[in-house]
Amino acid sequence: MDRMLSAVEVQSLRMRALRLDGTREASVHDIVTWCGAMQAQDLASGLWSLGMRLAAGTTGATQADVEAALERREALRTWPMRGTVHLVPPEDASLDASPHGREAPARCGPAPRVPWP
């Protein structure tokens, strides 16, 4: 007989799937690969979201750790779907790109630098 999951069990499973249960990934590439794509319309929030999931040292990831990973192109910040900016694995960037996504960078110009929260 099937049983219903409790609200606490559902919440726990969701947090685990989102990697917000304390699970840490070894690289930014591993994080965006696990998630498929991460919304990053707001750069500071995108950086923070990666930092929350990245294993780095005993105190966690720093802004510099996350920015260095993006400089190494472990993830690309692009317009793959819905006309919004996402972080995606570089090998998936061309697979997700919609016709609108390909036009967006030229239309919008470079993303502004945002201070770390």
Query: What pTM was computed for the model?
Result: 0.71
How far apart are alpha carbons 69 and 13 in whole angstroms? Answer: 28
pLDDT attached to residue 81 = 75
**Domain coordinates in residue numbering, the chain:** 7-108
pLDDT at 2: 86
pLDDT at residue number 25:
87
- Non-local CB neighbours of 82 within 8 Å, separated by 6+ positions: none
Q: How far apart are CA 36 and CA 77, in angstroms?
A: 13
Q: What is the CA radius of gyration of the chain?
A: 16
pLDDT digits (tens, 9 = 90+) for 19-34: 888 888 889 999 999 9
Average pLDDT score over residue span 54-75: 85
- Tens digit of each residue's pLDDT (9 = 90 or more) over 69-116: 999 999 999 887 777 889 999 988 775 555 544 454 454 555 555 555
Whether residue 63 contacts residue 47, with contact meaning beta carbons closer than 8 Å, is answered with: yes
